[in-house]
Amino acid sequence: MKKILVANSKGGSGKSTLTTNLASYFASLGHQVMLSDLDRQQSSAHWLERRSIVLPQIHIDSAGDKSLSSKPDWIIADSPAGLRGDKLSNAVKEADCVIIPIQPSAFDIGATRDFLEVLAEEKAIRKNKTFVALVGMRVNNRTHAAAGLADFMDQTGFSVLTYLRNAQVYVTAAEQGMGIFDMRPSLVEQDLQQWDPLLQWVRAVTNTKA
């Protein structure tokens, strides 16, 4: 069983977008996937409620969900904003990897800088037992904000995986309880290419953890 923690202390950073699309990706491969929504807004859980029964099944981390007969292959956790202290330490320790979404704004960069400083002190990360990487969210590559985000991410010392564009397909998918991996490939070709480095990294680090 592998666990991915999607985290950032800044609300609205894109955690639920990453969480739901990761869940849909692994489910599309036929894996047993459990979604754990730790955020008070329950955006990922509500997304799952909208999901059609004809799509690959994803389970919710709930005592009321009895449809999963064995341990899941993957747990994808959508963390709350403001995750700190013992709750952060425990979440990091339990995860194989942590993915940090960041949007290209001064507010997001400032809040994420503080969060990464706290994260870097976590024992599991310092000892390379839990791996961390960054993903740029809702990025328009032709803007000064995108360039500023790239400079910041490159200076953090953590792996920079990819930059996901600000595309309507994510809005459409979220409204229908889908991920881009549930959609017709011709509609999301560019997005699938942007996701590829992220997915390769996840597979690599989850295979190397003892």
pLDDT one-digit tens code per residue, 64-123:
455 555 789 999 999 998 888 999 999 999 999 999 999 999 999 999 999 999 999 999
Count CB atoms within 10 A of the CB of residue 30.
9
Tens digits of residue pLDDT in 112-170: 999 999 999 999 999 999 999 999 999 998 899 999 999 999 999 999 999 999 999 99
Q: What angle do CA 26, 206, 116 make, to 5 degrees?
A: 100
The pTM of this model reads 0.94
Structural domains of the chain in order of their starting residue, each with its CATH number: 2-208 (3.40.50.300)
Helix (H) or strand (E) holding 138: strand 131-139
> Do residues 16 and 36 touch, judged by C-beta distance below 8 A?
no
